[in-house]
Structure 1
Amino acid sequence: MRKHYNFTGAYALYIEQLIALKQKLGYKYTSAQELLFRFDRFTIERAELSPGITKELSDAWSERIGFESDKYRQRRIRILVQLSSLMNDIGVHSYIPVFPKVHERIVIPYIYSQTEIVAIFKACDEVQISRRLMNCYVIILPALFRLLYSTGLRINEALALLDDDINLDQNYLIVRDSKNTKERLIPISESLSSVCKEYLQYRDMMPLNRDKNYFFVSLNGSKCKSGVVYGWFRRILLDAGIPYKGNHQGPRIHDLRHTFAVHSLAKMAEEGTDLYCALPYLSIYLGHQSIRATNGYVRLTAEMYPELLKNVNVVCLNVFPKTEYHESN
């Protein structure tokens, strides 16, 4: 359930207008509301009585708080930029602060080989537990990791799937709770559908009181948490004989999404498909906001399978700037 914030400061009216505008544009804007509430309290503590954000108020809000990270400080300042911009647009003069520079960590995708993917599936099928724990996730592992690789879903998108979101008779699923708030329909293969049906047979034999009819649940029926799945994935990598490098070098669960994209492009190139005609379809399939994010996978595919893409116009690979990868892609 979303928390409701009661804004009472001098900027309450404009804060509520900003939230309403963002939500009408399709943004969830939930974490931003918490920051706006903090700004509302901040203005009350400073006894700000009339609207119109001054440089003094902006500088005070933008000061680093304790040991907060650069990234979190930038989020606070971005919220003020959005509020000031809206107020200027409606005729209330407000100072717009300058963003501080933040050096984001660049993630180098790890692309699993076909042999490693097979080893991961085998490890999922053979994992055993030493004692019975009703909050254990072992039942979901074979279906979940096959689903992640076969569809390119983000882990949180997969764990948010409900029973009604997956049609195993017509072989498709619907992603409703996505990063970019875009609902999308994804076809799935007959083999993946069979694995999911087998999982359901075992799951439905359990005397569960399931949490909101989530498709993937632990043995006690509760929704699975991504943090716990990450722990299981470390064990799967170990059993599959895939070294975990650590220090942000992976391999990560999210790399299954990168691998899906690269393997899909390689397969299309092998079949003679024009990749730049296929790219918009892959972009929609992955739930990207723009084709720019998807374009980076063409570069990766070209690097990994140079013989397959030797006939692709090299100029096309430079249509967009070189892509930097982050965990949210």
Structure 2
Amino acid sequence: MDKLRPSMDEDLIKALKMIAPGTLLRESIENIVRSRHGALLVFAEEEQIAPLLSGGIKIDIDLKPMILYEVAKMDGAIILDPTGARIMHANVQLMPDSRIESQETGTRHRTAERVAKQLGVLAISISAARDVVSVYAGGIRYVMDPLRVVLSKADQALLTLERFKNRLNQVAATLTALEFREAVILSDVTSVIQRSEMVLALSYLIERYVIELGTEGRLVQMQMEELLANVREDMTAVLNDYLIDPTPKRVETAVVELAALPTDELISMERIAGILGYPPAPNMLETHVRPRGCRMLRKIPRLSGQAVRNVMEHFGDLQGILEAPVDELAAVEMVGPSRARDIKEGLDRLRDLDLLERYG
């Protein structure tokens, strides 16, 4: 099954950043698209591309959009250095290994794909007739969408992300209420983790759009970052509260395993419970569980991570922390009288807020 999180090869990410709006390369590509001349751009070291070159003109000058536009009027390929900062050759014929498989039908696109696969470099083919810009990064082919299309997709994804985040806030608020009432069952926990992963998965898709948008994607990125505030941290706190064995290594492993879940497994609460360390059993999701207090303690201002861990280890669970007198909290290492009062007052406020929301 497909994974919920879209994966992107590092070479492709690097390529999209190189040709994002606001860069000289993007300006050059747009000039060529508008002219309908077409072009084949290959980004490689001189010695790397030399065995495939035939003819052409050696230039070796800094990239300037108008120069690239002019040399693209010639029929041959254009060779740039790997960073795209310099134009090395123009009007060259490329002779990649014809045995390399290619699904492309056009000569320019087929050559670009074979060169990219043979040398493991970036190649860009710009169609003369169809305004199609194809990016080949090693064995990956990626067709660039027009800027307006990417912006539209990003806006739609942001609206969906907002809906996902609202639902996450709802299930997280429910978990908070149940924690104070000592009424948490395993399905309450897995619901929060599931919704957190759905929010994070969608954010990875939006990050790809931000890369493609370049300077045009700043507003999209700001909106995404606002919606993602504390999502990762809160999910890690939930794992610290409910993992069977919440060592730092186990928490890190659980984060990786959750991120790798295919779509059909992420919707399975039992699968998420298994990652938390709960063995399969009849009605396992009805199992009553007790929070250790990490998520609540994180809401207390000026309380360090180590102090949170010390309090959790000393009292064992959230109820023990809630019932602890101030002087016993103050005796915990790295807490002291001032922080102990902050913890007591902070947790009391959170409990009062929960009561107010439930009973008005």
TM-score, length-normalised on structure 2? Answer: 0.26
Answer 1 or 2: which has greater strand percent. 2
Q: Rg: which structure is higher?
A: 2
TM-score, length-normalised on structure 1? Answer: 0.28
Answer 1 or 2: which has greater helix percent. 2
